[in-house]
Each structure stands twice: as structure tokens, then as C-alpha cells.
Structure 1
Amino acid sequence: MLIRRVAALAAVTLVLGGCGKTTEDDGGNDLGTREQSSVIAADPAASRGPAPDVAGAQKGGTVTILRNNKISHLDPQRAYSFIGLLSSASLYARSLTYWKDDGSGKLTLVGDLAETPGTDVHSDCKTWEFTLKDGLKFEDGSPITSKEVGYGISRSFDPAMGGPTYIQEWLANDKEYYKKWDFTKNKGQLPPGLTTPDPKTVRFTFEKPHCELPYAASLPYTAPVPQAKDTGPEFDNKPFSSGPYKLVRNTIGVEIVFERNENWDPATDPIRHQYPDRYVYHFGAEPDASAQRVVADSGADRSALAWDGVPSSLAQKFATDASLQERTVAAPTPMEWRLAINTRRVTDVDTRRALNYAIDRDGLIKAFGGSDLAQPVTTLMPPGTIGFQNYDLYPAGPTGNPDEAKKLLAGKSPNLVMAVGDGAQEQALAPQIKNNLERAGFTVTVKTVPGDEKDDLTAKPGNEYDLYFRQWAADWPSGASILPPLYDGTTITAEGSNNVSFLNDPAVNAELTRVADLPAAQQPAAWAELDRQIMKDHAPAVPLLVEVARIPTGSHLAGVFISSIFGVPSLVNANVKP
């Protein structure tokens, strides 16, 4: 019954842009199309390891990842950035379930730590069981049991973690889950609804049906953590590995080094490989400098990738140089940029509507690097979401509509403070946004903040900023993993909120709950309608663009592809050519 109940939600077909290397025929501008589909594996064999060999891959070598900002969080219960969820956490943190993905758009959810993607015990989506595989070990060789999985999940009840909150809310049957069960007061115990009846079994019991649990369990907050190894805040700097690599050096903000975990058993893992000897993350270089290093293709950079992608300054060069196209991994992504509006500070809805009218998206995309790197969007959910419906409630045209914005402002000139990360990407977009808004009658003060701190700062309800860039890619391609985390007011916490617009409207909160409780087949259309309604009534953000990922790589790096879920580089098949 698991497959029949959940596949009704999961077996969808989505037309997105194409995946793979750019083509030479047209300068790499046309990525074509790809169909994205996701299913839950029916056959337990799909969840068994080892992962199929990658053709031509050999063991050895070092993969170097060049990135401007450091990774915000390594603690698997805290990881909720794109690089944290996928490209780093997948090296050292295994979850109950995970996605088989080769970048073609065909996704299969399989058991990772678990033997299958879960058992719906009573065929009502209220009681789920996961049976752990034999042979699972931590980096020190100690066994991974249900006790450590349960402890890891219990840690996520600490609201300061700031990671995903689906499972916590479902167990507590309350969006303010931390008020129902306090981890700090009950450390070492399990929250109500989570049990580990034996060393191999993890059981979830919900008051309401939650057929999306197998998806939610794929996030690293279900990663196992031994209580004795939990060093509190310091765990963020030195997590304890359950995956194919372990952290051996962390010079915070400068470099992270992962090397092979000799106690990882490939026979238990249907997803990951262990081809490179090590992964080295270097932080601090501007995207231009990182891309130039990869272009030079010398020494260790021959097996490097420039995480921040093709910068706008080099977009034309990459679009016209066939040799660079051969070393560029490219695909459209579900990653949407928005200008989040702090509704606690910008309280007038007409002012927020005026912000939407003011934006010159053509100019913004040029500042981003051109149409090779981004496409405009006017909806809260990006194209590719199940049931997506396009709309434009505040038609600004391609270059903005300052006159309509001024009408809504009715002679006012609001003074707004915009927080901008110090990375090159946000720094390139900020002047464009400032000019757009001031042309429409706003006064804008730009305050630059460290890029690796901006998300944490703006996640606090009392923050001093009116506007800030935020990005979001759904945890799975459903409105359920977009609208509730971003716009449900009952999820706002003292820090670590994902609802950084701080919208807290009782009618919206109630409708989010109602739609989440609908049968799976009815949810896509309902999420699409709610998307439009939130923008119409509240305008809590300005949707800006969706990214097209173009990641330059060295000539000796192979196996990297763009994740079909998060739209960022996946390293599960990475290997270094001799």
C-alpha cells in the first residue's frame, strides 16, 4: 500500500529545461527540455548497495571545490542550505531515505539507512516503520542503530537548529512543535510519536496522515548521531560521519577537508561512491577568480569545480568558447530567487505591491549574467513544481512599471533598508534593485553583511532589515515543501525561521493546514491557488528569477551533474581522471 498511496503524489511528470553539457550549435544557450519524474521504489532491491559503477571511473585523486562563502552549517540537523543539504552532507551524513538521481530528471526515492523507503503499517499514512540495514557503521567502526537515528531526529526539535521542520511538526501535530516537546529538557529521550522498539526499527506514529513522510525522511535531519558524540554547537564544526567520507580538517571559513571513511560499507549504500581520495573545499575567492582558476586548468584545479558558477563577467566567454562548454555542467534548476519583504517592518500591503511593480526583471537578469544563467518568475512557486500555474498579479512588464508603483505609494517615499550579502552575486544585483526602487519613489539604504551570516541574521524576527535576497529550492517538487515553510506564521521562531517574511495571517495559516491535509491528488491545484492568493492578499515577497546552473569544471573532473532536486552540483558520482 505504500507505493499506491504515495506514488499518487510522487509519480508526476514535469517539463523543465534540459540537462547536461551545453551544445556547440548555438553557443550553449539552448539546453532543450527534460522530463522530471519521481517515484518511490517498489522493489527493495533498489535500496540495496552497492551503487552501480560509473563508466570509466577510477579510484584516487582530490576533488577541489571553490566557493565564495563558507558552508553555513555542517551539523546534519542544522543543514538547510543547498550546499549543506546536498554536496557536503551527502559525503558524511546518511538519512533514512535518499534520492537516486543521475541528473536526467528521473528520480527514485530509495532506502538509504533503511532497507526500503518505509512501510505504511496500517495503509493510512499515520504509522510508518523503517527497518535499518545490516552493516551500517559510523566513522569509528561503531554500529549505527535505531537509537542513534532516534537521537538525531530528537535533536532537530531544538528550534535553534534552523533546519527543516516537517517531521517535528507532524510528530507534535503542531507547527510550534518545540512547545510540545523540549529537547534540552528531555535530552536522551525521544519525542512523543517516535519510538525505536528494537535496534533496527524506527517507528513514527502521527495523529494525522502524512503520506509524504518518505520524502521528508530524505533530508539529513534523520541522520544518526551518537549522543556521546553530540558536542552541542561544536558539532557544527566536526560532525560524526555515517557516510563515505569523514571530516579531517576544518579551518573555519577557509578550508574543509574530507577523506575516505574506511568504515563505510558500499554494500549498504545504493547511491554514493567513494572514488576520490579526498574532497577539499576552499572558501573566500570571488566567483570571477574561481572561474578563472578553472579556466586556467592547472595543477589541482584540473579536478576542481567553481561552485558559484559562471560569473556575469565571463558569461559571454563561456557561451562562445566550445572548449569551455565541454567543461561546463549545465541544467535548469528549481532554485528561485526572491526579494523577501519583512512584513513586520513593511506593514502596508500596498507598499509591498508597489515593490512588485517596480522591478525591472530584464535588467536584473542581465546583472545576474544573462538569460543563459536565469529566467524571470512572478510566482512564489517555481516552474517545475507539481501543479504549477503561471500568473502575474503585478504586471511590471520586462523593465518594470514605476508609474503603477507610484500610484500605490500615493505620494509616500518609504525609507527601506536592504541587507545584501558580500558575495559577488548579491553585490551585482543590489544596485539594480536599488535603482529600480528609487525610480519608483522609494528611498533605499543598502547594508552589506557577511554572506555566511546573512541568512541567520535575517531569520530573526526582530532583524533591522526591510528587504533581503533569499533563495529556495523545494525539498521535493511539491507546494508542501515551499509555501508552508516560507509563509506559515505559526512556524516563526526566535531564530532560524524559514518564514523570513514573517507573514503571520490566521487565514493563510489555516489554509496552509487545510491544503496539507487534503488527499494527495487534490493538493497540487490547491497549492497553486494558494500561491496566487498569498501574493494577491499579502505580497510578502517579490519573485525575481529562477537559476540556470552552469558550473565550470577542470578537465580531469568527471561524474558531476546538476541535482534534479536542488539544482546544485551533486558529488555522488564524482571521480578524477588520471
Structure 2
Amino acid sequence: MTKRTAARGQERTGLRGRLAAGTVAVGMATAGAAGCSGTDGFGDDGTLRIVGSTDVEHLDTASSISVGSYALTRVFARTLFGYTSSNTFAETVPIEADLAAEVPTRENGGISRNGRTYRIRLRPGVKWSNGRPVVADDLVRGLKRLCNPASPAGGMAYYTSTIHGFASYCEGFGAVSSRSATALAKYQNTHSITGLRTSLDTLWITLVRPASDFLNILSMGFAAPAPAEYDAYVPDSPELRRHTLSTGPYMIKTYEPGRRYLLVRNPHWSDDPLRGQGPVRIEITLAQDSPETVLEQLQQGTADLSWDLPLPASALPSLRDDPSFAVRETPSNSPYLVFNTLSPNNGGALGRREVRQALQFAVDRASLAKLYGGPAIARPLHTVIPPGNLGHRDFDLYPTPGDSGDPATCRSRLKTPLTLRFPYRTTGSQKRIAELIAQNLRACGVTVRLIPDTTGGLYGQTLVTPSQTRDGAWDIAAPGWTPDWYGNNGRSIIQPLFDGRTYGQNSTNYGGYDNPKVNALIDRALTASTLTRAADAWHEADRLIMNDAAIIPLLDRKLALYHSARVRNALFIPTAGAYDWTRIRL
């Protein structure tokens, strides 16, 4: 969640953690051989140069959830299913086989008649970057790691609510010491999940009930396989990051936390229908916080792509006729303002619906849209589910003139004086966004204390640590959310953000919102017999969440992208908010 946005400031599920600086080399005997020099027809040195601001929140696929981290993990971690990259949005929506030999259906015998059992055969010949074959047990190990207590998956509910026995397995895992790799591996290897069984090259999955979006769930990075070698490390620890293995076209050769990645070609990669092995190397340079400076590097050709910094809105008019500029579709709720409903500050005022409803009238969405480049890029959003996603229907429970806010109505409805703690990301345009929202809130009589935070800190600690939430370390924040998949994707918006039953460490239900009626609507949508009925239930949940004013939706944005003149074959991945690095030619 998970998703999960890269070139928009690592929203969604955002970048979550900055480690101490220091160079480490990933422990792969073959890494040096893959990083050969020479042009090989790929440009001056064959290196795709990506520049950005902040390191990923989690590198381990078990807990990696931001759009930006997905852009990275996708190049070294394959999943059973995935999506093709394309500059035609509709072509990126259908599920494709990746590690799986084929997409299972009822017709080919891959899905049982009752829709509860999936038989998935692995694509033959897939290997880890150390040369060992990928087997079905690696996929089970990857799934079992999702609810580890050290660094659990923010999207765990996708799996606990679908796979038979997953929830009870995870309940027991929570009692294991999060600091002991030995204890974690022992629980994992001595406890089974009733809904998972394997042979060497086949995985059988039994569901609690039929789920029409289950293949989408298996396409997420969470469902990537994990090698037996990972049992030696605490999940997402610095030690594991230094020993990341790859099934994708590239592997991490050098990692300087918070500063730099160098990925080189994986010599054991083969038979991948979704990725290429274009550049000889991929280098990501971090700690660059100025969108203007990054754009200048792209225009001068000293860098090729931006990772997590948006284009400056002031530059967009001059770029419109540049062949290196493009605007891509990625329907999203990004950013949105989330309320900490568990905060004890102000006498627990944000836990009261009427207070949150009053604040809905404060925000000037029209001015926010201008910060991103105006209506060609961003448009005001009033619903939880953005256009282009299952269950979306237009409605506005808190209209203001011209979407410019209504401070008078906010003041008249707000009976309680408020002082709100507002942590914000310092990268890109995030500071200006926070300042504008703070100005709007002050206009309706609210005192706002802006607290600068790194993207990794906000998404890796502040918003996802229940103790900080309950202690009132923050009251409001402005994350963003891009759906984890498109098409039949109602689950990928409502469930991770608003299912109160899943609140806990790393949850993307940041504010601890919990309404039993919404939870029931989630269950109704997930068990609906048709997509129409599912869409109706998702829409009902949307209206109820907005009536509760759990968040303030702000914008539905497209993504403005720019690349250097030497980049060719730049194909877009909407769920990653980025071009497909593996297919680029230089």
C-alpha cells in the first residue's frame, strides 16, 4: 500500500526510511561480472542515470509499499503476475504472467469451479542471481514473511482477508521476537498456512472465499518470492539490504544508504515477458532536493530521469512542445489530508466527526491545483475513490465556491479552538503544499504548527507507528495514494486506507479510522457476485467515509514527466509513477 508516488514526492505509501550513510556492497559473487564497461551501443557509458531526493522506506519486498520503491523493486524482484509498461493507459491494466507460466483461468484448469482454489505453475528456468532455481517454496516463504513483527507489510490485509489460514498464522507470528532472525525464521519454517501448498514447480492457493481480484493481489511486490538465504536476517534490516538477491534483469551491486544505488545486469535473468535488460547499468543518486536543479540536469544531459521529484510547475509551459516531456495518466488521490482520529491533542477533538466536517470547508483546492501546473495536470477531488477507479461516482458533501474554500463556514461550524501538529515532507513542492493548507486552516481560526520531516521519516516512522499516532506526535498530514492496480481495484483504495480492523504497525490507515459500517461494506464489496454490485458497495463506503470526514480529498493528478534527450523507448508504469527503467535504450 501499495501503493501505493515516485515522481510526485514518493506518495502513496511514500518513501519510508533513511538509513545512516555508508557504502555497502551486496553479497553476490557474480555482481562484478555483470557490471562490464564499454558502450555496447547503449550511449556514452551504458549507464541510466536517475536522480532523486530520498532513499526508500523499505527495500525488502515484504514491507516495501511506496510507488517509488516499486519502481526500484520491480527491476530486481519478479512476481507471479504483473503488468506491461506502455504509454497507452489501457494497455497497462490487464494482468500478465510473470514468474507464472500462464494466467490461471477456469478454462485452463488454473481456477477451480467454486473460485476458491488456484493452481499456479512456475515458468521454467527462472533463477536467483546466485544461480539457484526459483521454486514454489520460495513464493510461500515470501508470503509468510508479510506479517513478520520486525517490518510487516502495510498491505497485509490483502492476504489475511483472502488466503485461507493466513490470518491465524499472522496472529501467532506477532508474538515472536522482532529482533531475532533465528526466532523469526523458526516460526516461519515450523508453522504452515493452510491455504498454501506446493510441489517443486507448482503452487496451490486456497481462498477463504472467491476473490475476483486475487491475481491482482499476487501481482504486488509483497508476493515476490524470498530465497532461503533471507532466513538469516531480520526483515528489512541493514544486513538483509546488503544481501538482496534478484530474480529480475538487474541486481544491486552497490548501495550507499541515503546516497546511491548501482544496479548491474543479472547474468542469471531470462525468459521475462514484462521487462527488458536495456541499460548496462542503472545508477540512482539521492540527496538532491531541488526540482529546478534536477530538471536542469535532465535538460543538460547530466542525468536521465527524476525518481521522486516532480517537475516545477513554473517550468511546464515552456516544456509542452519538448519531445522529452509527457503527461501520463495515473488516476490517484494525491495528495489528501488525513486526520489523526486517535490524537489526544485538543481534548481528542479530531476524534469527533463534527470537527472534521467543519475543517472540510477550509481547503482551497483550486490554489493547490495551480501548484502542480493547473487543470492540465491536477483537478480538485471530493471523493475517496478518484475517477478511473472502480466505485467512483461524483459527489461533493462539502462544496465551496470555485473549490477555493469557505473559511466563514468552517469558522461557524468549528466550535472548538484547535492547535494542529502538521508534519510535512521537505522534498519537491511538499513544503509549499503544507504552507498553503496551513494558511487555509489559519483562515478559519486554527493554529497550525508545521513540522519539517523527511519523506522516509514521515512514511517510515511518524504516520505508521501506532504509539506516535496515539501520543499525538501528529494531528494532520498530507500523504498521497495511488491504487496498487487498476481495473477491478476497489479493494486497493478503500481497504488499505480505511479498514479499521487492520490498524497496526506500518498500516496505511494512518489516522486509525474505524467505522464498523465501512468495514461491513468492505466485506460486502469483496464478496459481491458481480463487479456492478462491488462498485455499488465501494461507492457506499466512499460516501460514508466522506460523511465521517475521515480525510479531505484534495487532488486527482496526472503525472508530468521529463527525460534526457538520450533516452529512447520510455514506456510508462502507472502504478510506479515512472518509466520502465528496464526497457529504456540510451
Deviates more, 1:333-342 or 1:361-370: 361-370
Deviates more, 1:467-476 or 1:194-203: 194-203
1:170 pairs, out of 162, 177, 182, with: 162
**Residue of structure 1 equivalent to 2:112:** 122
Pair 1:313–1:150, CA change in 2 (3 A): same
**Residue of structure 2 equivalent to 1:523:** 534
In structure 2, runs of 5+ residues without a counterpart are: 1-39, 177-183, 344-349
| Other structure's SS at 2:342 match | coil
Q: CA deviation at 1:157?
A: 2.1
**Residue of structure 1 equivalent to 2:479:** 470
**Residue of structure 2 equivalent to 1:93:** 77
- Structure 1 residue 562 corresponds to structure 2 residue 575: no
| Other structure's SS at 1:490 match | helix
1:137 pairs, out of 121, 127, 131, with: 127
What are the Cα deviations for residues 135-178 of structure 1, in whole angstroms up to 9, with x where unaligned?
01000111100111111111112253234221233225676862
Deviates more, 1:187-196 or 1:398-407: 187-196
Q: CA deviation at 1:76?
A: 1.2
| Other structure's SS at 1:149 match | helix
In structure 1, runs of 5+ residues without a counterpart are: 1-56
**Residue of structure 1 equivalent to 2:60:** 75
The residue identity in structure 1 corresponding to 2:453 is V
**Residue of structure 1 equivalent to 2:456:** 452
**Residue of structure 1 equivalent to 2:32:** none
Q: CA deviation at 1:329?
A: 3.0
What are the Cα deviations for residues 241-273 of structure 1, in whole angstroms up to 9, with x where unaligned?
0100000001000001100000001xx211110
For 2:355 and 2:465, how far apart are their aligned partners in 1?
Answer: 22
**Residue of structure 1 equivalent to 2:7:** none
Larger RCO, structure (CA 8 Å, separation 6 or more): 2
Pair 1:340–1:229, CA change in 2 (3 A): same
Q: CA deviation at 1:228?
A: 2.0
| Other structure's SS at 2:558 match | strand
- Structure 1 residue 200 corresponds to structure 2 residue 184: no
| Other structure's SS at 1:357 match | coil
For 1:503 and 1:467, how far apart are their aligned partners in 2?
Answer: 13
Q: CA deviation at 1:413?
A: 2.1
Q: How many residues align?
A: 507
Q: CA deviation at 1:229?
A: 3.3
Pair 1:128–1:459, CA change in 2 (3 A): same
1:343 pairs, out of 341, 345, 362, with: 341
For 2:575 and 2:455, how far apart are their aligned partners in 1?
Answer: 24
Matched ranges for 1:192-231 at <5 A: 192-230=193-231, 231=233
Matched ranges for 1:110-509 at <5 A: 110-119=96-105, 120-159=110-149, 160-165=151-156, 166-172=158-164, 178-179=170-171, 184=184, 186-189=187-190, 191-230=192-231, 231-232=233-234, 233=237, 234-265=239-270, 268-285=271-288, 286-297=290-301, 300-301=302-303, 303-305=304-306, 307-319=308-320, 322=321, 325-336=322-333, 337-345=335-343, 346-397=350-401, 398-410=403-415, 412-456=416-460, 457-463=462-468, 464-477=473-486, 478-493=489-504, 495-509=505-519
Pair 1:238–1:334, CA change in 2 (3 A): farther
Q: CA deviation at 1:288?
A: 1.6
Matched ranges for 1:540-551 at <5 A: 540-551=550-561
| Other structure's SS at 1:424 match | coil
Pair 1:264–1:189, CA change in 2 (3 A): farther
| Other structure's SS at 2:132 match | coil
Pair 1:124–1:254, CA change in 2 (3 A): same
Q: CA deviation at 1:391?
A: 0.8
For 2:376 and 2:153, how far apart are their aligned partners in 1?
Answer: 33
For 2:424 and 2:252, how far apart are their aligned partners in 1?
Answer: 31
| Other structure's SS at 2:564 match | coil
Which structure dedicates a bigger proportion of its chain to strand? 1
Pair 1:114–1:568, CA change in 2 (3 A): same
The residue identity in structure 2 corresponding to 1:404 is T
The residue identity in structure 1 corresponding to 2:465 is K
For 2:204 and 2:154, how far apart are their aligned partners in 1?
Answer: 21
| Other structure's SS at 2:480 match | strand
Q: CA deviation at 1:59?
A: 4.9
For 1:214 and 1:74, how far apart are their aligned partners in 2?
Answer: 23
What are the Cα deviations for residues 18-46 of structure 1, in whole angstroms up to 9, with x where unaligned?
xxxxxxxxxxxxxxxxxxxxxxxxxxxxx
For 1:84 and 1:66, how far apart are their aligned partners in 2?
Answer: 14
The residue identity in structure 1 corresponding to 2:526 is A
For 2:514 and 2:168, how far apart are their aligned partners in 1?
Answer: 13
Pair 1:430–1:465, CA change in 2 (3 A): same
Deviates more, 1:137-146 or 1:459-468: 459-468
**Residue of structure 2 equivalent to 1:38:** none
| Other structure's SS at 2:452 match | strand
Q: Is the 8 A contact 2:259 2:287 kept in 1?
A: yes
Q: CA deviation at 1:514?
A: 2.0
The TM-score normalised by the length of structure 1 is 0.84
Pair 1:192–1:470, CA change in 2 (3 A): same
The TM-score normalised by the length of structure 2 is 0.82
Pair 1:416–1:102, CA change in 2 (3 A): same
Q: Is the 8 A contact 1:74 1:237 kept in 2?
A: no
Q: CA deviation at 1:124?
A: 1.9
Deviates more, 1:501-510 or 1:156-165: 156-165
The residue identity in structure 1 corresponding to 2:263 is F
For 2:198 and 2:573, how far apart are their aligned partners in 1?
Answer: 35
| Other structure's SS at 2:451 match | strand
Q: Is the 8 A contact 2:521 2:538 kept in 1?
A: no
The residue identity in structure 2 corresponding to 1:115 is A
| Other structure's SS at 2:520 match | helix
Deviates more, 1:224-233 or 1:172-181: 172-181
For 1:74 and 1:253, how far apart are their aligned partners in 2?
Answer: 12
| Other structure's SS at 2:420 match | strand
Q: Is the 8 A contact 2:153 2:222 kept in 1?
A: no
Pair 1:257–1:192, CA change in 2 (3 A): same
What are the Cα deviations for residues 32-86 of structure 1, in whole angstroms up to 9, with x where unaligned?
xxxxxxxxxxxxxxxxxxxxxxxxx96561111111222222211111100112x
Q: Is the 8 A contact 1:459 1:497 kept in 2?
A: yes
Q: CA deviation at 1:371?
A: 2.9
For 2:358 and 2:167, how far apart are their aligned partners in 1?
Answer: 31
Q: Is the 8 A contact 2:356 2:549 kept in 1?
A: yes
**Residue of structure 2 equivalent to 1:104:** 88
The residue identity in structure 2 corresponding to 1:90 is R
For 2:278 and 2:141, how far apart are their aligned partners in 1?
Answer: 31
Deviates more, 1:363-372 or 1:273-282: 363-372
| Other structure's SS at 1:575 match | coil
For 1:399 and 1:557, how far apart are their aligned partners in 2?
Answer: 40
For 2:146 and 2:453, how far apart are their aligned partners in 1?
Answer: 27
For 2:310 and 2:425, how far apart are their aligned partners in 1?
Answer: 17
